[in-house]
Structure 1
Amino acid sequence: MPSNQPQTIYLSDYKVPAYLVDTADLRFELFEDGARVHSTLAFRRNPDCQENQETGAPLQLHGDSLKLESLVLNGEAVAPSNYNVSDELLTVNQVPQHFTLQVVTWIEPQNNTRLEGLYKSAAMFCTQCEAEGFRCITYFPDRPDVMARFSTRIEADKTAYPVLLSNGNPVEQGDLSDGRHFVTWEDPFPKPAYLFALVAGDLLEKQDSFTTMSGRKVDLRMYVEPRNSEKCEYALDSLKRAMAWDEQTYGREYDLDIFMIVAVDDFNMGAMENKGLNIFNSSCVLASQETATDMAFERIESIVAHEYFHNWSGNRVTCRDWFQLSLKEGFTVFRDTQFSGDMGSATVKRIESATVLRTAQFAEDAGPMAHSVRPASYMEITNFYTLTIYVKGAEVVRMIHTLLGPDLFRKGSDLYFERHDGQAVTTDDFVKAMEDASGRDLGQFRLWYEQAGTPQLAISDEYDESAGVYHLHVKQTLPDTPGQTDKQPQHIPFALGLLGSRGEALALALSADELASGDAPQERVLELTEASHSFEFHGLSERPVSSLLRHFSAPVRVSYSWTREQLLFLMNHDSDGFNRWDAGQRLAIDVIQQMIGAPKDVTVDARLVGAFRHLISDADLDQALVAKMLVLPTVAYLAELTDGADVPAIHRARRRVLKHLAIALRDELVACYRRNIDSGPYQLGPEAVARRSLRNTALAWLLLINDEEGRSLGLGQYRDADNMTDRMGALKAFVNSGYDDDRAATLNDFYQTFQHDPQVVEQWFSVQAASRRTGQLSHIHALLEHPAFDWKNPNKIRAVIGAFAGQNLVNFHNPDGSGYQFLADQVCKLDDSNPQIAARLVSPLTRWRKFAPEYSQQMQAALMQIRDKENLSGDLYEVVYKSLAD
């Protein structure tokens, strides 16, 4: 066991801070060999800390990798006997009730490979302070419940760094001696240190504006490197749409005079909502039709909205401690999914969210790192920026919205913002506001925040023909997870519909009286609160087909004995678009699972071919939904549904079904491709996006079976493409095809065309690393040696190593264990420079118990290799040791 084992932090040990900071005045002197940080902090004892009132506790400030140059208290240097410095803390032993502390530290941003605190991305200074990065800048009580008003002065060489940015509004600027200059920023709103931001560089400014609902004009500015000047328009347009939507939907108006976005190439996360100065990973904000796919545009719109929405759900009201992380992230993800649904197709957005949940978050719930939406403990908080916190947390908020309805939910959110503006609060405070506004008791519902794991609903039914009554029985269980057993039933909203034999929606009368009244609805949200429930629906002249968990109304697994005929019926008739898609997924899963290890003479069910023929050929169907329904369940999801998974066998079965479909539907695929050719200008509307998606799906299927007409169509599409969606669609199709010469030619041409654009080169890396053909280990090693690959850039690392281990499952799970060894080697290497990225990349190994013994044993050995590494970081320690624990 390593000597630097991180300490476990428990929610139950929370104590209010002993000292509060009213104001934080910062002055940064930026140089090429480092930065000097002058901090003047106005402290006072916290009146809510009874222990401190009685004893006068020492002042403890967090610090990491800092060189302390001076320490002055109320104008006098602090005597060495009155303070001490450790690797993590500066402790001043005796301080008065009110005092000013001046601290000067020296840091080296140019050598900061962790990308936390202040660091350099190429020639640009930038920051990332969430969760605990501010302590890498200066000594401070770096916890979210210490909120101060910040003033920031930045001084730097004017030629090298003409743009100097921080939070709030600019109040002063001017020239200094020796070719240097300064800008001072003031943020009028108190904030925790994790929301502090600074950027300095030679950046191009793009300007726009937005007029709020009260008539204020807000300056919108986006800062990028000059080579990205043509990639800003979409992000700024997305920002304006988000600002308008937040006013209309939540009544929230922006509160500063200026809102800024900066694109940074080297960034561990996707983006950061720092007050007034949002810093974005370049891949999450830069776009043009020539360089970004439709999916990238949609992602950018969602992320820009997410970070903007944080201005209220995260900044104006923030989290008391990091156990409450989902307070801001879950609520904001829910808000950004609402926004994305309103901007495009709500059904498609729901399908995308559910796919992430069922493929990845459910896997997290069933793995060694399973934790509740509000964790009870952690070692390294960076390991808890998880799908459980973000995506499941959003589902918890969505369920409250479902239970209360939109009007009462809005009333609750208004009360939450009004009651807690300027405060650091908890998930309980959020739920309490919803209770107080609606009059609903959500006591049992709080278990969603406390209990880990994915609830499982076992459903059975029978039909009493003589009485015309349909009986539905639901049992809920919640599996054991690390540290949690014997869990209580949860409050689950379960949306239900019943369909008649002609596909018509039937009335759901829960009693004879309701049936007689004629008021029975055609969809109900049943509220499950017990371990088992039985419901009766009256007045049914035939056995209905159940449409279960409509809209995916709760993040649960459903077990029900659908027949293939029922699934086909729901695919064709269900009025809920999500359940039409889900029925198709379940049918495909059933067929693929039948093919795992099946003899060659076992054929694919003709009913699946017929269902897909109908989808491809019927131009009257919602084409955006059709595009989603044509995507077979992924190998990752199929593995998640299987105990003792043999990934190569699953891959072979899925590929066998896919090739059978492509051969059987060859003519329909060609017709679908030609029907969806669009000769007009590039557009981003739902119909245009659906056309491109259908066309590229058809092309991929045709090239999978080495169809010559498909090859001709693909070469023409690649050659004539005026947008990245079509160009990348053709490239992917060839990369995964049997046309070796075309694969090599298109890959080479793509790189030669876009080699000077880092974001596009990342796509080029990823499409190869994720391919079963080009993503074999010898080629992966070659990509790591490519001149465009950069070990200091998280995006490049994710594009190669992350894509290989997370998407190219057939090669990662090579029976010889080479994929596991490769990942272990790369994780160990990265741990020395960027532990946060290393800890995230190791995730595919952590679920070793899920797989067949010949795979799991080798995965376990790879984890043990990482465990035994010298100087293992705290980030990686937590993940590996929890994964190997009995």
Structure 2
Amino acid sequence: MIRLADYREPDFFIDEVWLDVRLHPTDTHVRSRLAIRPNPVMGEAPLELDGEKLTLHAVSIDGEALSPTDYTLNPERLIIHKPPRQPFTLEVETTCDPEANTELSGLYRSNGIYCTQCEAEGFRRITYFIDRPDILATFTTRIEAEQADAPVLLSNGNPVEAALLENGRPFAVWHDPYPKPCYLFALVAGTLAHVEDHFTTASGREVILRIYVEPGKEDRCAWAMDSLKRAMRWDEEAFGREYDLDMFMIVAVPDFNMGAMENKGLNIFNDKYILARPDTATDADYAHIESIIAHEYFHNWTGNRVTCRDWFQLCLKEGLTVFRDQEFTTATRSGIAKRIADVRLLRSQQFPEDAGPLAHPVRPSQYMEINNFYTATVYEKGAEIIRMLRALIGRDAFRSGMDLYFARHDGQAATVEQFLACMADASGRDLGQFQRWYEQAGTPEVTIATAYDPAARTFTINAGQATRPTPDQSVKQPLVIPLALGLVDASGGDMPLRTASGTNTPNLLELSEPAQSWTFIDIDERPVPSLNRGFSAPIRLKTDLSDADWLFLMGHDPDPFNRWEAGQIYAKRLLLSLTQACVEGRRLWDASDYSEALRSSLRASSLTAQLKAELLNLPSEPDLASEIGRNVEPVAIHAARQHLAAYLGRTLREDLEEAYQTGAVPGPYTPDPDSAGRRSLRAAALTLLAAGNRDEGARLALDQFRAGSNMTEIFSGLAVLARLDCLQRDEALAEFYERAKGDHLLVDKWLSLHALGPFPSTIARVRRLMEHPAFSLRKPNKVRALIGTFAAANPVAFNDRSGQGYQLLADILVALDPINPQVAARIAGNFKSWRMLEPNRQRLAGSEIDRVRSSSNLSRDLTEILSMIASNPLPAMD
């Protein structure tokens, strides 16, 4: 176990790195030359270099070869016993086998392309190195290969030289002048095509932009290039950050463990987040490409120029950069749609993490395998902390704090404390208590009680906060929680907020004690409080508002996010009651008030198509399970949700049909927010219509699939059919495969659609597809598409009462772990909520977890995840 409390400075620094890489599919030769100097504040120590799956051929210091007695070699380290106490040059020669590297960490070769992934600890699979993020060095890299094997040779930084040797082998030299940790090193080589553009920075520098792809896919790069240029301009305008190299390159590869990687000057992407054309990519794909392009580019400053001192500070680059990409999308697309999407993601992924055995602080205090902490808590909750910080100190002070952060720590490896110190210095505010957000796991619960005194014309809000114990922390301290507030009058307007002092009060309450109260004066009628507007804090909110209050806010709240939130809260209350009725075998009832509120929203000309679509989308089944928290019966949740969807589909039929028809977007496809919003409304309407009348909905969905002029229309029709028990489902899926089989990204969509059916037969279907030529455990995207979708997005089939869904996932984990431990560990996370289930399902899931844990030679990645899932109980309930 590695602990934050044990951090110590490195004994040695590496200032310059020269790499000579001679590529070969099974025998790549790497010669490294490292300029090393002892850390003057540390005592005499051996030089310990990390290395895995390398064959050592030679090692020398200042040109003199070392004998085997001068060092110790084991599977994870090269330890030089008595290195010089003054600066010296270390040379090491090694070989590795890229073709055999199925873990896709370090240097690997897949689909004919050499590629690297060095975050978090992959560089040690390329050469021996002090593989930690507080070792910053400049890199010069020479690459050589066979012409037929890899005519394109890329690495970080600026190009220095490229030519053909006398033997016809190409070589290229790249130099990155900015010191960086080795996790940001990148190398890509192969037969690649590229598209090129240019960008002029604010200071007038010309930057060459290139996106490299497999030949023949150049026509699917236009949106990615456009997104990149807009992200570069936005970062200059919003944060004053200008790009610093002569070239910015992106390489899209089909086999990659992550979504993308921000390597300095050479971003490597999973090609599903680059390639887009109207007939192959949905609106959601276009939005993801835009967001992830921006995210990785923004890392150039928040992650690269200023990196993290150690892996415990991962949120310092990831949470901050997620916040930045969220702000970019908000500024360039539909802000309300983006905020709703971010909150949905937080609630579906991070809230269950906080409430279960995998709970950990945004900055964890210990880990066994750092790959397991690339989590929703670090990324999404980390971004929410930055958002809260900006709300508390104000936008101007936040921008000043960011400028100070870059000025103080450019070229350094920083900590959360150093980041907060910049914000404190810029704002003049003590952020000591706020830092607890980084140190405490769990989702705070805020309870609100209100009181209106008509005689005194006052309205009082009484608030309390508490965070339940988590596996790592039994006692929680109060946090600073910013609550954005509005008091809505009967006409739907916001009342002025005044306290007894008579002055206007900012609409942001700061809850920093276990209990606090605020009283507002000159209130002539009982208002309906609109709380936590814009989701100003990542909390669970409990209030004394009535169903009538929530319906009122759903129709009248001036804040569009809280208008959607009110609808979600009302729907959750309704669905939880229906779920309990299903469990007890009671008769289910209708929801005319909710139906009429949705009808009013559909007919409201002031609402955008995107917001109407969001209002029609019911809370998800995992979200409802998270609300229940104990003795969860997934089938009952599904039945309750289907009952409500069917009722809405019937009672709102005319309005839904009108929304469906008017949602059609004429003309050529464009991914602009208005058009995407209309298509989103059309898809939401189709979903409810199909729930209300299966046969009619299946016909409509099949017609849309066949007539669709773009992938959004095609896929949304298929997604409805995939969840219906009808003949058209298999017919449409077979037709889609005939279109898709030449395109691996479309095949991934086809695999995921098969995994969505909420039927017992889906388990056998998934097992059959695992034998299909289109599926491979060696392809992370295939595993995520089929197995990930089944386990994460199909709670009915995954939690089948027979336990066969758990058996399926366990079988996959046993088979996948020796091939790719990182992907196996991430897929295993789908077991995280097993203790929330009713007793029989708990028993079945627990048995499968134990079966996997008892397997021999499990990786550290999977061992850690399963140990936490199996060992840590759920927090106590009230």
TM-score normalised over the length of structure 1: 0.96
Structure 2: how far apart are the matches of 1:26 and 1:530? 55
Aligned counterpart for 2:160 among listed residues 166, 171, 176: 171
In the alignment, structure 1 residue 885 sits paired with structure 2 residue 871: yes
Aligned to 2:33: 40
Instruction: Compare 123-132 and 814-823 and name the one that shifted more.
Output: 814-823
Tell me the CA shift for residue 366 of structure 1.
1.2
User: Which amino acid counterpart does residue 785 of structure 2 have in structure 1?
Assistant: A
Moved over 4 A (4+): 707-712
Alignment pair present for 1:448 and 2:431: no
Task: Work out whether residues 450 and 544 of structure 2, in 8 Å CA contact, stay in contact via their aligned partners in 1.
Answer: no
Corresponding position: 1:532 with 2:515:
yes
Aligned to 2:251: 262
Whether 2:366 is the aligned partner of 1:380: answer no
| SS of match in other structure, 1:91 | strand
Asked if 1:28 is matched to 2:21, the reply is yes
Q: What amino acid does structure 2 have at the position aligned with 1:10?
A: R
1:331-730 to structure 2, matched below 5 A, reads 331-514=320-503, 520=504, 524-598=507-581, 601-642=587-628, 643-706=630-693, 710-730=697-717
Contact 1:775 1:804 in 2 (8 A): no
Q: 1:111 to 1:775 in 2, by over 3 A?
A: farther
Q: Deviations over 1:73-113 (max 9, x none)?
A: 11111011110111111000011121111101110000001
1:322-372 deviation line (CA, Å, top 9, x unaligned) = 000000001000000000111111111111111111221011111112111
1:711-744: CA deviations, max 9, x gaps?
A: 454333222222100010111122223431x222
Whether the 8 Å contact between 1:704 and 1:736 is mirrored in structure 2 is: no
The Cα shift of 1:590 comes to: 1.2
The alpha carbon displacement at 1:159 in A equals: 2.3
Paired letter, 1:226: P
1:375-414: CA deviation from partner (whole Å, max 9, x where unpaired) = 1100000000001110111111111111111111100000
SS in 2 for 1:268: coil
Q: Is 1:751 aligned with 2:719?
A: no
How many Å apart are 1:701 and its aligned residue?
A: 2.2
1:858/1:749 CA distance change after superposition, 3 Å: same
Query: Does residue 771 of structure 2 align to residue 785 of structure 1?
Result: yes
Counterpart in the other structure of 1:76 = 64
Structure 2 equivalent of residue 835 of structure 1: 821
| Contact 1:775-1:808 within 8 A present in 2 as well | no
AA at the equivalent of 2:34: L
Does the CA contact (< 8 Å) of 1:143 and 1:321 recur in 2? yes
Displacement of 1:603 = 1.6
Render the CA deviation track for 1:546-597: whole Å, top value 9, x for unaligned. Answer: 1011110011111113211111100111111111011000111111112124
1:34 to partner: Cα distance: 2.1
CA deviation after TM superposition for structure 1 residue 749, in Å: 1.3
Matches within 5 A, 1:796-815: 796-815=782-801
For structure 2, which runs of at least 5 residues remain unmatched after alignment? Answer: 873-878
Structure 1 alignment gaps of length 5 or more: 1-7, 515-519
In structure 1, the residue matched to 2:47 is 59
Q: Contact conserved, 2:25 with 2:109, CA < 8 A, in 1?
A: no
Counterpart of 1:157 in 2: which secondary structure? coil
- Aligned CA RMSD, in angstroms, stands at 1.3
Alpha-carbon separation, structure 2, partners of 1:13 and 1:600: 57
Residues in 2 aligned to 1:215 and 1:25: alpha-carbon distance in whole angstroms: 31
Secondary structure of the structure 2 residue equivalent to 1:187 = strand
In the TM superposition, what are the counterparts of 1:186-197 in structure 2 within 5 Å? Answer: 186-197=175-186
Mapping of residues 86-105 of structure 1, within 5 Å: 86-96=74-84, 97-105=86-94
SS at match of 1:220: strand
Match of 2:104 in 1: 115
| Matches of 1:688 and 1:396, distance apart in 2 | 32
**Normalising by the residue count of structure 2, what TM-score does the alignment of the two structures yield?**
0.97
The Cα offsets for residues 634-658 of structure 1, whole Å up to 9 and x where unpaired, read as 0000000012211111111111111
1:673 & 1:267 partners in 2: Cα distance?
Answer: 38
Matched, 1:862 2:848: yes
User: Within 1, Cα distance between the matches of 2:353 and 2:724?
Assistant: 32
Cα deviation, 1:491-523, whole Å, max 9, x if unaligned, reads: 111111101112111111121522xxxxx25x6
Q: 1:638–1:544: structure 2 CA closer, same or farther, 3 Å change rule? A: same
Equivalent of 1:152 in 141, 158, 168: 141
Q: Distance in 1 between matches of 2:211 and 2:493?
A: 51
| 8 Å contact from structure 2 (residues 461, 517) kept in 1 | yes
Check whether the contact 1:124–1:200 (CA below 8 A) recurs between aligned residues: yes
Shift of 1:196: 0.1
Cα distance per residue 1:228-256 (max 9 Å; x no partner): 22110000100000000000000000000
Number of equivalences: 867
Match of 2:372, SS state, is helix
Counterpart secondary structure, 1:199: strand
Q: Specify the SS of the correspondent of 1:227.
A: coil
Alpha-carbon distance in structure 1 between the residues aligned to 2:387 and 2:587: 47
Contact 1:292 1:725 in 2 (8 A): yes
Distance 1:670 1:513, change over 3 A: closer
Task: Give the Cα separation in 2 of the matches to 1:434 and 1:60.
Answer: 37
Instruction: After superposition, give the CA deviation of every residue in 1:202-260 in whole Å (9 maximum; x if it has no partner).
Output: 00011011100000110000000013221100001000000000000000000000000
Distance (Å, rounded) in 2 between the aligned partners of 1:711 and 1:865: 41
Percent identical: 48
